[in-house]
Structure 1
Amino acid sequence: MSKKFPRTVAVFDTKTKNNDCAVSDSELRRARKTGKLNLSDKHLVLWPEEILKLGVVHSDNNEIDLEGKISDDNYKWWELEPLKYLDLSSNNIKKIPNQINQLDGLTTLLLQQNIVESLPLELGHLRNLVKLDLGYNKLHKIPSELSSLKELRTLNLSHNVFKKFPEVIYDLVMLNSLDISSNIIEIMEPGIGFLTRVVDLNISHNKLSSIPNDITSCKALKDLNMSNNRLTSTGLPELINMQNIEKIQLQYNCLTLLPVITGCSELKEIHLGFNEIQTLIPDDKEEEVTIEELSTLSHLQVINLRNNMLQKLPKEVSCLQNLVRLDLSNNNLKELPATLSLLPHLESLLVEGNSLRSIRRDILRGGTTRLINHLKQLLPAEELEKNVNAQFPCTAVNEFPDRYTMRCSRAVNLACKDLCSIPDKVFEEAVAVPCTIVDLSKNKLPLVPSGVWLLYKTLTDLNLANNQLKEIPFEIKNCANLRYLNVANNQLKTLPDELGNCTRIRELNISCNSIQEIPESVYQLLAVEILNFSDNKITSLDAEKMLQLKFLANLDLTNNNLTNVPPLIGNMKQLRSFGLDGNGLRALRPAILAKGTEAVLAWLRNKIV
């Protein structure tokens, strides 16, 4: 007979309302000292009331006393931290209390994997919040008060029950990362273009049939995930000149045509599997035009076209000289172009599930290397010789875009060409289009090409960054519609007075130059929202003139020669980001700078006499 041992642990833990929301003394003490509290996966069903008392550090005879919870002579109030980091993820919390506004020092709030159904209006008072994670809840709307979260950089609303894209998100202009995947969103109104700083955007696993055209205004976007929706080719805008984008995911949609991605020069991956794409190049396009477009995708490494309806692969695909992986599985291909063998970096070519009758089955089963060798044998000798001599047509394309390419993109894109000059003829063609964007960044231009000013009527975006410019010509005064000007990383010592005529400029980047004082013309840009003067030699600020810029939200003065900041700058309450690191500031201590823009402005206001 086996020996029986007495049961020492109950099979079921009888819980009460009190221990369902209890926080231990040690956790509270640690939170008071570090400003961080982690209560994830604690089986909480109610928001612990003790947390709300951690927002403000109180003093009473040098002790902390939260209803008897914390009282210790070893903890002096000036050594303790208000709560900045709160993790309540993986619990069963249904309601966020209205008193959450007491935690106004929070920078990170993690509430994913709960059962929250609605958000309190008071959540909008957490104006220092940088990261908010509400994924895996039961939210269906967001209160408009959340538009006050101007410091928010990361927002996760995935796996909820939104039916319409919350337009309040468009007011969160400082967002870098937005995830609203795995909802049931059918409608997305225009406005996404206001998120000019967003780098990662995930709207996958919804029910969207179209995307707003202004998504191309998200200039900082690197990772765009639109997979698992109901997108059609007519509902997808042309993704033109999104020059920072590196990855596009469009698999599991209803596309019949390859999306227009002309000018996406940094694109590395595009995923188009499980659509209804029949052709990559429309019949009305000429070979030269196709080569010109493909040559702008010089960094493309991965193309996924599996499970489509492709009947033919154009030979011009060989222009993608950095291609590493090409997935053509489960299509209707009957042959492969021999020019695929000219791709020097191709490591994976997947073609199973096609009717490639001209290629023996043993070759197809032999893997990528054997298939490439077979295609090379089919390549005409003269074309192979051209490739060996680096004279294959795709590498001999004129470095200047033609009118068709510019008409598709509405842009003159000549970035990263090592150019020292650009003929006026290029811009004369651009006037006929007409183009609104000119990107001449990352070249070796000592002067701004005179042809640029031919576009003065339509020019809205001008990028001259990373060149060798020593001055900006006075002709810029005629560009009345200019909204974006980037002259970073040049050799500028000032800006022309005529720049003040460009009163519609919203963003000006003059970082990494030799500016010693902010030019007078900048103070005339009354519509400007973003000013980047970082990494210059600025020694002082004119507070009274700066106060004229009522719409200025982002002012970056990091790494300059400032020794003090005028207290009147504190009255610029509209500022959401104020960069001052890397200066020799005497009064503004690093501890104050570390608290963020709002704390710096408050400190400056307190110094006003």
Structure 2
Amino acid sequence: MSRLRRGGRAPDPMAGFRDGKEQEPAVPQGLIKAARKSGQLNLSGRGLTDVPVSVWRINLDTPEEAHQNVAFGGADRWWEQTDLSKLILASNKLQSLSEDIRLLPALVVLDIHDNQVTSLPRAIGELSGLQKLNLSHNKIKELPAELANLQSLKSLLIQHNQLEEIPDALGRLGSLDQLDVSNNQLKTISSCIGGLSCLVRLNLSHNRLKTLPAEIGQLKNVKQLDCTSNLLESVPSSLGGMDSLEQLYLRQNKLTDLPELSCKLLKELHVGNNQINTLGPQHLKHLCSISVLELRDNKLKSLPEEITLLQGLERLDLTNNDLGGLPNALGNLPNLKSLQLDGNPLRGLRRDLLSKGTQELLKYLRSRIQAPEVKTGQDAAPVVTAMTLPSDALVSMHSVTTLKTLEYCDKQAPVIPEAVFNAVGTNPITAVNFSKNLLTEVPARIVEWKDALCDVNLGFNRIPEVSLSLCMLLKLTHLDMRNNILMSLPAEMEALTRLQSVILSFNRFKTFPDVLYRIPSLESILISSNQISSIDPLQLQKMSKLSTLDLQNNDLLQIPPALGNCESLRALHLEGNPFRNPRAAILAKGTAAVLEYLRSRIPT
């Protein structure tokens, strides 16, 4: 007769012997056994409310297999176990960690993110070899001073907790290169932060900071500083002493003036959503390397003519300000590729002109610049005669000699005349603009300027492939080949180890070009409006400098959750693809929200 009743369960032989409490999920012995061999133990997503004692004592207790396997030729060589170096306890229900953590002195990585931990044991300071500590997404209100003993620590992630202050002792972490204390309740930052001499990335965003300490200027190695969403009304002038600073985020604060910065390597300055009402020459004169300037949602009424000081500027966002007009000099910025002006009461510009895009607008502004008056007498300009070289009439020699820029664009020419190349002579050229022609190949003679050329614009032509001559421009940092008929890129482009930005929008790519994954210097990839159906998030994660990725209007049917682990991304554009998730409401919240959503979908 069956032991099962109809519609019921088999009787429990242990009924009456339990104490009524639900047993906590156990750690399988197979995992413990494997961890002894590999030195790594992943217990994420197991519903743990406490860490089993067997985990803390994994280096000390004699394993069970020692009593079973006494044959020295056996496969399980339990006596050769490795001390635990990596412990992942993420996404559980832990409220605390035991002082027994000191029994794992060989730990290099400890990850307890996404738990309910409110405090840390003092014994954590005894993990002298710890290099990465992830405490994010918990309920920690204060940090123990013993953290200062972790002299090998390189990465400390404490975002999304309840910290109100950072202990002064943290300033003694001399090896730390990444510190993230975003999304806490910090009102001040101690001057001790000046002691973090190796710091490269510092995230202070989404706190309640009203000021920054002057000692922040002592962080000579910081490349990325994020102070988004605080209460800052100004920043200390000492910020100019951050000699390595490349990216500065001051969005969503209470700034009324653009900071006067002398950071000569600064490439991106984001100060949107503030109350900035003036922009003068003093704010621009030191921004010699700036390529991205974001000033959206402020109260600017005008731009100075000195905007032309920003010769390397590529993206200028002035959305939602009070601009009534634009200086004509703006048209002379040689590298400006994106100018955003929506939400301004511009009176001197026709609406249809604004809708034609950045290049048409810049061309219009250049056309409004009046030519200098003809002088007479001794100051008169040389008279053009029949002996004037024909090549001089084809290009602006002023641009060639002064700006080191060669322009032969918007000519609808099928080839670049030899006279254009000849006109350059021995002058070094750093920028070339051959856009808006009818070119069917990259001009071979472009390689003549390989010793200095760093910016090439071949957009709006009919080029079907990138030639090897272009791959010989080893100093190239910016490449614009939008609106061509490219379907692939040559593997030889891997040699362009200085390439920072590439624009490949409006071509015919069906797959994401593999060679781009192998150019770690890339910071910006714009490849919208193609036919790309998939991307490799694991390869993108290796591109540690990639901050902007535009994949709009492609054929992506799904967005891999692992893309959320691309921590360097600051601008991710996915609109116009046929995927279902993330939904439009999440995309509208911005890059940070999209990446967090993707991370939440990574299987554990």
TM-score where L is the length of structure 2: 0.57
Are positions 1:254 and 2:254 aligned together? yes
Structure 1 residue 354 displacement after superposition: 0.9
Residue equivalent to 2:264: 265
TM-superposition CA deviations, 1:196-215 (whole Å, max 9, x none)? 10000000000000000011
> Quick check: 1:147 aligned with 2:181?
no
Q: 1:239 to 1:124 in 2, by over 3 A?
A: same
Q: What amino acid is the match of 1:116? A: V
1:524-551, Cα deviation, whole Å (9 max, x unpaired): xxxxxxxxxxxxxxxxxxxxxxxxxxxx
- Cα 1:256–1:146 change in 2 (3 A) is same
Tell me what 2:280 maps to: 281
2:143 touches 2:166 (CA, 8 Å); kept in 1?
A: no
Q: Would the aligned equivalents of 2:169 and 2:192 in 1 still touch at CA under 8 Å?
A: no
SS of the equivalent of 2:239 reads coil
Contact conserved, 1:149 with 1:172, CA < 8 A, in 2?
yes
Q: Distance in 2 between matches of 1:323 and 1:387?
A: 20
Q: What is the CA–CA distance in structure 2 between the aligned matches of 1:370 and 1:209, rounded to whole Å?
A: 42
Residue 201 of structure 2 contacts residue 222 of structure 2 at CA under 8 Å; is this kept in 1?
Answer: yes
Q: Is the 8 A contact 1:55 1:105 kept in 2?
A: no
Could you give the per-residue CA deviations for residues 204-230 of structure 1, whole angstroms, max 9, x where no partner exists?
A: 000000000011111110110001000
User: Does 1 or 2 have the higher relative contact order (CA < 8 Å, sep 6+)?
Assistant: 1
Return the alpha-carbon distance in structure 1 between the equivalents of residues 7 and 86 of structure 2: 43
Which among 337, 343, 351 is matched to residue 361 of structure 1?
Answer: 351
- The structure-2 alpha-carbon separation of the partners of 1:387 and 1:217, relative to structure 1 and needing over 3 Å to count, comes to farther
In structure 2, the residue matched to 1:173 is 174
Query: Which consecutive segments of 4 or more residues in structure 1 shift more than 4 A?
Result: 5-9, 14-19, 66-73, 382-387
Q: Secondary structure of 2:240's partner?
A: coil
Q: Equivalents in 2 of 1:70, 1:96: separation in Å? A: 33
> CA, structure 1 residues 152+15, in 2 after alignment: closer, same or farther (shift >3 Å)?
farther
Q: 1:387 to 1:306 in 2, by over 3 A?
A: farther
Q: CA offsets, 1:86-142, max 9 Å, x none?
A: 000011111101111001110000000000001111111111100000001010111
**For residues 180 and 7 of structure 1, do their structure 2 counterparts lie closer, same or farther at Cα, with a shift above 3 Å needed?**
farther
Paired residues of 2:130 and 2:153 also in contact (CA < 8 A): yes
Q: What residue is the counterpart of 2:55 in the other structure?
A: 51
Partner of 1:132: 133
Q: 1:468-483, aligned counterparts within 5 Å?
A: none
SS in 2 for 1:366: coil
Determine the C-alpha separation between the residues in 2 that align with 1:195 and 1:243. Answer: 15
Distance 1:206 1:387 in 2: 50
AA paired with 1:276?
Q
1:84 aligned partner: 85
Question: Corresponding residue for 1:104?
Answer: 105
**Secondary structure at the counterpart of residue 216 of structure 2:** helix
Shift of 1:8: 10
Question: Residue 251 of structure 2 aligns to which amino acid in structure 1?
Answer: Q
Separation of aligned partners in 1, 2:133 and 2:22: 27
Distance 1:369 1:71 in 2: 78
How far the C-alpha of 1:389 sits from its partner, in A, is 4.7
Does 1:191 pair with 2:181?
Answer: no
Check the 8 A contact 1:21/1:46 in 2, yes or no.
no
| 1:8-53: CA deviation from partner (whole Å, max 9, x where unpaired) | 99xxxx9997852411011011100000001111111111221112
Question: What is the number of equivalent residue pairs in this alignment?
Answer: 370
- Which residue identity does 2:355 align to in structure 1? R
Q: Does 1:42 align with 2:43?
A: no
Residue in 2 that maps onto 1:242: 242
Q: Taking every aligned residue pair, what percent have the same amino acid on both sides? A: 36
Alpha-carbon distance in structure 2 between the residues aligned to 1:252 and 1:202: 14
Q: Which amino acid aligns with 1:377?
A: S
**Is residue 296–residue 320 contact of structure 2 (8 Å, CA) maintained in 1?**
yes
* Letter paired with 1:128: G
Contact 1:212 1:237 in 2 (8 A): no
Q: Distance in 2 between matches of 1:99 and 1:68?
A: 25
Q: Does 1:205 align with 2:206?
A: yes
Task: Give me the whole-angstrom Cα distance separating, in 2, the residues matched to 1:183 and 1:104.
Answer: 29
Alignment partners' CA distance in 1, 2:230 and 2:19: 43
Distance 1:378 1:97, change over 3 A: same
Residue deviations 1:352-407, cap 9 Å, x none?
1111101111111222122111111112334996852544799xxxxxxxxxxxxx
Note the C-alpha offset of 1:65.
Answer: 3.8
1:260 counterpart letter in structure 2: E
Amino acid at match of 2:328: A
C-alpha spacing 1:333/1:277, structure 2 compared with 1 (3 Å):
same
Give 1:33's aligned residue: 37
Q: Is the partner of 2:191 in helix, strand or coil?
A: coil
Where 1:163 maps in the other structure, the secondary structure is: coil
Contact kept in structure 2, 1:211 and 1:237, CA below 8 Å:
no
Give the SS at the match of 1:362: helix
Name the residue aligned to 1:156. 157
- The residue type paired with residue 364 of structure 1 is L
Unaligned ranges ≥5, structure 1 = 395-609
Using the alignment, how far apart are the partners of 2:178 and 2:241 within structure 1?
20
After superposition, the Cα gap between the structure-2 partners of 1:177 and 1:259, relative to the gap in structure 1 and judged at 3 Å, is same
Structure 2 Cα separation of the partners of residues 128 and 167 of structure 1: 21
Q: Report the Cα offset of residue 167 of structure 1.
A: 2.2
Per the alignment, residue 388 of structure 1 pairs with 399
Whole-angstrom CA distance in 1 between matches of 2:397 and 2:276: 32
User: Could you tell me how far 1:170 is from its partner in structure 2?
Assistant: 1.1
Cα distance between partner residues in 2 of 1:356 and 1:15: 75
Q: 1: distance between equivalents of 2:328 and 2:70?
A: 79
Answer yes or no: is the 8 Å Cα contact 1:55–1:104 preserved in 2. Answer: no
Q: Structure 1-normalised TM-score?
A: 0.57
For residue 300 of structure 2, the aligned residue among 303, 310, 314 is 310
Secondary structure in 2 matching 1:54: coil
The worse-fitting range, judged by mean Cα deviation, of 158-167 and 97-106 is: 158-167
2: CA distance, partners of 1:339 / 1:202 = 36
Q: Secondary structure of 1:37's match?
A: strand
The answer to whether the Cα contact below 8 Å between 2:218 and 2:241 also exists between their aligned partners in 1 is no
Q: 1:206 to 1:50 in 2, by over 3 A?
A: same
Deviations 1:326-376 (A, max 9, x none): 000111111111111112221110011111101111111222122111111
Task: Tell me, in whole angstroms, the C-alpha distance in 1 between the residues paired with 2:274 and 2:67.
Answer: 63
Q: 1:494-509, aligned counterparts within 5 Å?
A: none
What is aligned with 1:534?
A: none
Q: Which runs of 5+ in 2 are unaligned?
A: 1-5, 11-17, 374-394, 406-604
Q: Given that residues 313 and 336 in structure 1 are in contact (C-alpha distance below 8 angstroms), is that contact kept between their aligned partners in structure 2?
A: yes
| Alignment of 1:75 onto 2:86 | no
Question: Are 1:239 and 1:260, in contact at CA under 8 Å, matched by a contact in 2?
Answer: no
Q: Give the AA of the match of 2:260.
A: V
What one-letter code is carried by the residue in structure 2 that aligns with 1:177? Q
- Residues 130, 153 of structure 1: 8 Å contact kept: yes
Q: Which residue of 1 aligns with 2:94?
A: 93
Partner of 1:339, secondary structure, is helix
Work out whether 1:230 is the aligned partner of 2:220.
Answer: no
Q: What aligned pairs does 1:323-472 form with structure 2 within 5 A after superposition?
A: 323-382=313-372, 388-391=399-402
Measured in 1, the distance between the counterparts of 2:55 and 2:198 equals: 33
- The CA deviation string for residues 258-286 of structure 1, in whole angstroms up to 9 with x for no partner, is 11211x2221111000001111227xx5x
Q: Within 2, Cα distance between the matches of 1:129 and 1:66?
A: 29
- Alignment root-mean-square deviation, CA: 3.0
8 Å Cα contact 2:128-2:149 kept in structure 1: yes
Question: Whole-Å Cα distance in 1 between the matches of residues 351 and 146 of structure 2?
Answer: 63
Q: Match for residue 472 of structure 1?
A: none
TM-aligned CA distance change 1:336 to 1:33, over 3 Å: same
Match of 2:179, SS?
Answer: strand
